[in-house]
Amino acid sequence: MSDTSTDSTTTTAPADASTERGFRKVREGLVISEKMQKTVVVAVEDRVQHPLYGKTIRRTKRVKAHDESGNVGVGDRVLLMETRPLSATKRWRVVQVLEKAK
Distance, in Å, from the CA atom of 36 to the CA atom of 53, rounded to the nearest integer, reads 41
| pTM (two decimals) | 0.75
Nearest to 90 by CA among 37, 52, 23: 37
pLDDT 10s per residue in the chain (102 long)? 555 544 444 444 444 445 577 899 999 999 999 999 999 999 999 999 999 999 999 999 999 999 999 999 999 999 999 999 999 999 999 999 999 998
32 backbone dihedrals φ, ψ, rounded to 5°: -115, -10
28: exposed, middle or buried (Cβ count in 10 Å: 0-12, 13-18, 19+): middle
Q: Counting beta carbons within 10 angstroms of the beta carbon of residue 42, is it exposed (0 to 12), middle (13 to 18) or buried (19 or more)?
A: buried
